[in-house]
Amino acid sequence: MAHTWSMRFRLAWFVLRTAYWIPRTILPDVYSNDALICFNSHAFVDDPEFKRAYQRGVQALGGKDFYHWEWRVHVGLWAAATASHLEGDFVECGVSHGFLSSAVMENLDWDRLGKTFYLLDTFEGMDERFVTALERKAGALTKSKAALDFGIYANSADQVRANFSQWRNHRVIAGTVPETLDEVDTDRVAFLHIDMNCAPPEVAALKYFWPKLTPGAVVLLDDYTQRGRDEQRQAMDDVAKELGIAICALPTGQGLLLKPAR
Ligand SMILES: C[S@@+](CC[C@H](N)C(=O)[O-])C[C@H]1O[C@@H](n2cnc3c(N)ncnc32)[C@H](O)[C@@H]1O
């Protein structure tokens, strides 16, 4: 069984990498990765500061970039740099190996800011108690288990802690969102990254942190426009309506929102 999964995974991986490689080869200036084929400039990939931050993210993955999330990381670095000027700490719900958060911390020379980065994950994949019936039906739990088995999701909180040991001002909180949210012992948040690939804990995190978000705080939803994650998008749209705000849909698969100043 594990062997069959492994073969399927490798085959799917090969097909995916080839599908992105073809447009890049025919049209060399095109960005083609991570569900995005774009003709506009992606000059940011050549920026030495971007490269350094991105490579720190790759280091968190164990040195091999199995994501190719360049444009997503570019958006994440911009969002975090914007939030770094505001009062408040940083939170990520769904950290896994710490790819995006390591890139952010490297880019901002983290300990210099005097903020704390709270890093929340089960480190055991999705918690079935916080997955909807539809997500379960669409195979969310099976995919989460496969991601853990193949090392796409981190399965060791200790390894993740070792990755972040380069910085002082952070706390890794292992356990299930929403149950761990009250372990985030700050009442001011400037940057919130939500990336748990299932709606119930994501909605809970946004609702929980909303009153704590500093005016102008940046919230980045990793999965908002990803194909096949309609339930997450609709759930977030419902929360946004309740809160009287709008989410900007990005072609990277992300969603972006700001806490209004008033
Ligand atoms: C796509 S990964 C996160 C990737 C990460 N943001 C990065 O930059 O590499 C999704 C993560 O969400 C975590 N997760 C899923 N449901 C969760 C929950 N209810 N509470 C905490 N973590 C959860 C999984 O364990 C997994 O590590």
pLDDT tens per residue, range 49-81: 999 999 999 999 999 998 999 999 999 999 999
Pairing, β 170-174 against β 117-121: parallel
Question: To which residue do tokens 């969603």 refer?
Answer: 255
Residue at 107 is within a domain: yes
Query: Distance between CA atoms of 85 and 16, rounded to whole angstroms?
Result: 38
pLDDT score, position 1: 54
> Of 123, 125, 79, which Cα lies nearest the Cα of 104?
79
Query: Distance between CA atoms of 116 and 248, rounded to whole angstroms?
Result: 27
pLDDT score, position 27: 84
Protein residue with least CA distance to atom 16, ligand 1: 126
Digitized pLDDT (tens) for each residue of the chain, 262 residues in all? 556 667 777 788 788 888 888 888 888 789 999 899 999 999 999 999 999 999 999 999 999 998 999 999 999 999 999 999 999 999 999 999 999 999 999 999 999 999 999 999 999 999 999 999 999 999 999 999 999 998 999 999 999 999 999 999 999 999 999 999 999 999 999 999 999 999 999 999 999 999 999 999 999 999 999 999 999 999 999 999 999 999 999 999 999 999 998 7
Q: Which residues contact ligand 1 via a Cβ below 6 A?
A: 94-97, 99-100, 120-122, 125-127, 130, 153-154, 176-177, 195-198, 201
Protein residue with least CA distance to atom 6, ligand 1: 95
Torsion sign, CA atoms 159, 177, 120, 139: positive
Tens of pLDDT, residues 89-118: 999 999 999 999 999 999 999 999 999 999
CATH number (domain holding residue 61): 3.40.50.150
Question: What is this structure's pTM?
Answer: 0.95
Which atom, in ligand 1's list, is nearest to the CA of 197?
10
Residue at 125 is within a domain: yes
pLDDT score, position 162: 98
Residue at 93 is within a domain: yes
Ligand 1 site-directed mutation target among 64, 67, 145, 196, most atoms within 8 Å of CB = 196
Measured in angstroms, how far is the CA atom of residue 96 from the centroid of ligand 1?
5
Measured in angstroms, how far is the CA atom of residue 123 from the centroid of ligand 1?
7
Measured in angstroms, how far is the CA atom of residue 86 from the centroid of ligand 1?
26
Domain count for the chain, please give it. Answer: 1
Do the Cβ atoms of 212 and 181 come closer than 8 Å? no
| Structural domain boundaries, residue 236 | 47-258
Measured in angstroms, how far is the CA atom of residue 260 from the centroid of ligand 1?
27
Residue at 36 is within a domain: no
